[in-house]
Structure 1
Amino acid sequence: MRHVRLTSMIAAALALASCAASPALDARTAAWWETTQDLSSDVMEGRDTGSPGYDRAANVVAARFDSAGLIPAGDDGGWMQIIAFKDVEVTAEGTSLTAVHHDGTRRQLRFLHEISVGPQWGLASSLDAPMVWRGWCRPEDMTDVSGKIVVCLGARREGQTTGGERLRAATQAGAVAIVNVDDMSFTVEPPRWPLAYARNVILAETTPGPATLPSLRMAAPTFEALAQAAGVDGASILAAGGRNQPMMSFDFRARLEATFALRERAYTSANVLGMLPGTDPALADQPILLIAHLDGYGYGTPVDGDELYNGTFDDAAYVATLTTLAAERAGRGWRRPVIFAAVTGEEKGLWGSRWLAANPTPGAPTPVAVLNLDQLRPLYPLTILTTLALDDSTLGQTVRDIAGPMGIEVRPDREPERGLIRRSDHWPFMQRGVPAVSFLFGFDYGTPAHDAYLDWYRHRYHAPQDDVTTPIDFQAQADFHTFWFALVEAVADAEQPPQWLPDAPNRPGGGN
């Protein structure tokens, strides 16, 4: 929220007014909200990985861990586990994309607003070729695409072509680039524009792979306009794809002229790690990991004049849950040691959790279970708790045992096509054989809760509007804390550590 200081002051005043108008907050929720506001304030600049704002936020978390009596568990006995990164970004300044039609008319395509390109090392600085539409972009669809830019439906549902399959088919057929058009029928996760930026982050020690064909993404309305200029009903074609029906092929009778400006950088960013020692020496080698990602997007493409992506509920609010729990315990341990981890680089590829999973520190060794905090938004009452990896380990039954008496229905993920289980920080640990769970506030379709979720997803998720002005249900958040704090205690004090179930679909070497 950097656009105008007055606007920032008004937003803060509105947030305070919202708190004042809500029922009086209990001490736990008030402490949580104070930390949430601190971590997502403009001072933290959106906590982009490797930014000064992220470092400021990391220092705040470390100070709260310290005051709660945790033991530093990072590198060399400190709070921080330092990770070296490098990135490549296609910058808005210097990048242009223009459709040139057969009659000479030109349509400028707004980079990051209606078209983008996947940044990669070795990306060509320019592109100029005719565009052709090939629907599903299966190998049998790739007729007469050599030397051309092939445009495909960016399908995301099971049984349809994947991005990797479309790219391979385009490459083998001799195309010079591929464009994936948003599938508007994928309503469980509607496409969002603008994008904050086009950036690819990897570990500094990693050697980038060879460059592939330039891979672009296009908004559906832009595709429809380009198709109309070619005398084709693009909306009908996309609708057929949404119904899993055959789609006609056609040539746009237009070229795409593109110039890409690239910027490369190198920097470091840190996981913040603290340990609450256990009280039972016999369980000292069975730590539990509590994890939430501290990073956000930082500054990006402005939306309604606001260029700062504060990331209040993605995921400052749940790092605040970690610090709130640590403060409540004030050095009073459970039977097992508990690691508190606020990690970096989640938004750039789960890099902080991947690094911690592969490089445990002496103070934060490999855990026996992971309880992850992400993808949570207290927008409506907590009556349904969607639990990722619910049926993978005995953690699922522990979740049911705690939530049930609270009147909370526990559900598995009913939208698996979104791939949420692989998109947050529990996943790198599950890949290494550690049982884990993560949560979403659930809903039934067609209810006010569903409407509130979709509204947040369309207008605030990964946008500057994810800030402290978000209308939230403080009682729902208090209820979640009651559940989650009890879950931590149950897992940390249990006689036996969590175990994988025999038929666990996500166990390494199992069904997935």
Structure 2
Amino acid sequence: MKLAAPIALALSLAASGPRDAETRAWWATTATLSNDAMEGRDTGSPGYDRAARVVAARFAAAGLTPLGAAGGWFQTVPMAERAVTAADLRVGASPLAFLHDYTVNPVGLPARLDAPLAYRGYCGAAALGDVRGRLVICHATRKPGLPGDADRAAALRAGGAAGMIAIADPGFTVEPPRWPFAYARSVRLATQPAPAGGLPQLTLNADALGALIAGSGQDAARLIADGSAGRPLPAFDPPARLTARFAFAERSLASPNILALLPGTDPALADQAIVLTAHLDGYGRGEPVNGDGLYNGTLDDAAYVALLIRLAERRAGRGFRRPVIFAAVTGEEKGLLGSAWLVAHPPVPLGRIAADINLDQLRPIFPLTLLTVHALDDTTLGDDARAVAAAMGVQVQNDPEPERGLLRRSDHWNFLKAGVPAVNFVFGYRPGTQSERIYRQWYRTGYHKPQDDLAQRIDWKAAADFNRFFFALVARVADQDRRPAWKPGSTLAPK
């Protein structure tokens, strides 16, 4: 066990960490949800189910009304999974380490690969030449004017390639690749059709390129540097052949969203529910990092399910004017599955949901002076966030790094796609500051890693500041006369 028993741990952390009672209570709940006994809360796991029961019990104790199926707290989300359980990949006679040197997408991946290699730079269609039957090495560089993921895959399919080996770009410094990967799994909603066999896709650690092109006379380090910079790259066929064998496991699973209602007090606003979302699921157990294979997911996202619980407890018996739906959702880490199911099967008609305020991607590890607000200028929720932040002396901004795609990487995205105004938040920083250095380091060593646990560094004032921001924002949105609305000219607004 990395950590002490939950109650003792919570008391210890509260004593040595936050000074104010509210933040201590929030962190104690975070400790309950992300200690080792919850086993990282992987979607469909016993640890997730234990955590879900804790959330439901806390919602019940706070006086919320269950809003799940059959009058209960849970909305079951049916899923199907395909996972790689064993892998043996060799270039010539040299093995590569699964999850360290490479990972794979289980969808469309055959049990065996045996093919010659080709290196084709950025894998634009015009640069491919003859790649029939070859596994093609491509730089997954994210730069304007160069092929994107879909472009590369389409070009290789059209060229008859046996598969794509995409080099994870270490030059994408705003969010560099993180090795090792925890595991190789693909999960979908069980109501979605199983994907048809597509182009086999592998992702390569840049440090392993040398093994693939050995004997070619090419310098792997130079190719990586040039590829990251977007400079011209050669095309050549390495002499080695790649062979691989994979074993898979397929299963059906179910995992619940936890849904609860704080009834509104104004009958005139009863059809304008505000949904508050945070994802309960984490990664669970995976490939060890420095000997630790338990991915606790403390900031991603146990801490912010805990914040939903704290809001419910603070408002016990005191509703807002609008109804507020509390939704701790599952399967976010597997593709926003729980929120997709929630939007497709809402506990009240979708037209009666006025907004979603989502909590994810929050890292209270440096002072809160700047807040990135997703969809800031798309709905009036952005105005509300700006006003609440200004009262606290906090500035807001649009996403300064849209190339990371964070707008589409958490549960608010499913509400936006359904035409429901929604927001999500990220702690912001000024370029070149200590805050940026702390943030970048966390993404290298904490994000989706076992190190996102209760022992990590927390800026307790920043945590308390954001929690106060959230409480005030919810009160403003749920109590004001104006219903949240789309702004004219929004590119995200329903057509």
Which range moves more in the overlay, 343-352 or 451-460?
451-460
Whether the 8 Å CA contact 1:335–1:493 is kept in 2: the answer is: yes
* Distance of 2:142 and 2:101 partners within structure 1: 19
Whether the 8 Å CA contact 2:371–2:428 is kept in 1: the answer is: yes
Give the AA of the match of 1:42. Answer: D
Which range moves more in the overlay, 242-251 or 264-273?
242-251
Matched with 1:96 is 88
Whether the 8 Å CA contact 2:77–2:255 is kept in 1: the answer is: yes
Query: Which of the residues 358, 368, 381 maps onto 1:372?
Result: 358
Deviations 1:217-253 (A, max 9, x none): 0010101343354220122222222222221111111
Q: How does 1:178-197 map to 2 (within 5 A)?
A: 178-197=164-183
Whether the 8 Å CA contact 1:296–1:347 is kept in 2: the answer is: yes
Query: Which of the residues 63, 67, 84 maps onto 2:61?
Result: 67
Matched with 2:134 is 148
Whether the 8 Å CA contact 1:14–1:469 is kept in 2: the answer is: no
DSSP-derived class of the 1:379 partner = coil
Instruction: Report whether the alignment pairs 1:316 with 2:302.
Output: yes
* Distance of 2:76 and 2:471 partners within structure 1: 29
* Distance of 2:349 and 2:65 partners within structure 1: 8
Question: Aligned-pair distance for 1:503?
Answer: 1.1
Q: How does 1:60-209 map to 2 (within 5 A)?
A: 60-91=54-85, 93=86, 95-100=87-92, 106-120=93-107, 123-209=109-195
Q: How does 1:432-511 map to 2 (within 5 A)?
A: 432-509=418-495
Aligned-pair Cα RMSD in Å: 1.8
DSSP-derived class of the 2:170 partner = coil
Matched with 2:417 is 431
- CA 1:130–1:189 in 2, change beyond 3 Å: closer, same or farther? same
Whether the 8 Å CA contact 1:11–1:469 is kept in 2: the answer is: no
Matched with 1:103 is none
* Distance of 2:143 and 2:382 partners within structure 1: 27
* Distance of 1:12 and 1:174 partners within structure 2: 58
Deviations 1:104-149 (A, max 9, x none): xx221001111111012x5311001111110111111111211111
Whether the 8 Å CA contact 1:284–1:337 is kept in 2: the answer is: yes
DSSP-derived class of the 1:49 partner = coil
* Distance of 2:237 and 2:352 partners within structure 1: 54
DSSP-derived class of the 2:238 partner = strand
- CA 1:429–1:11 in 2, change beyond 3 Å: closer, same or farther? closer
Deviations 1:155-189 (A, max 9, x none): 23343212111111111111111110011111000
Query: Which of the residues 329, 336, 353 maps onto 2:322?
Result: 336
Give the AA of the match of 2:82. Answer: V
* Distance of 1:364 and 1:328 partners within structure 2: 27
Give the AA of the match of 1:391. Answer: D
Instruction: Report whether the alignment pairs 1:222 with 2:200.
Output: no
Whether the 8 Å CA contact 1:289–1:338 is kept in 2: the answer is: yes
* Distance of 2:472 and 2:207 partners within structure 1: 48
* Distance of 1:238 and 1:157 partners within structure 2: 14
- CA 1:110–1:366 in 2, change beyond 3 Å: closer, same or farther? farther
Where do 5+ consecutive residues of structure 1 fail to align? Answer: 101-105
Where do 5+ consecutive residues of structure 2 fail to align? Answer: none
Query: Which of the residues 233, 254, 258 maps onto 1:272?
Result: 258
* Distance of 1:218 and 1:200 partners within structure 2: 18
TM-score where L is the length of structure 2: 0.97
* Distance of 2:38 and 2:5 partners within structure 1: 18
Instruction: Report whether the alignment pairs 1:327 with 2:316.
Output: no
Whether the 8 Å CA contact 2:376–2:398 is kept in 1: the answer is: yes
Give the AA of the match of 1:29. Answer: T
Query: Which of the residues 395, 398, 403 maps onto 2:389?
Result: 403
Matched with 1:31 is 25
Counting aligned pairs with the same residue, the percent is 53
DSSP-derived class of the 2:213 partner = helix
TM-score where L is the length of structure 1: 0.94
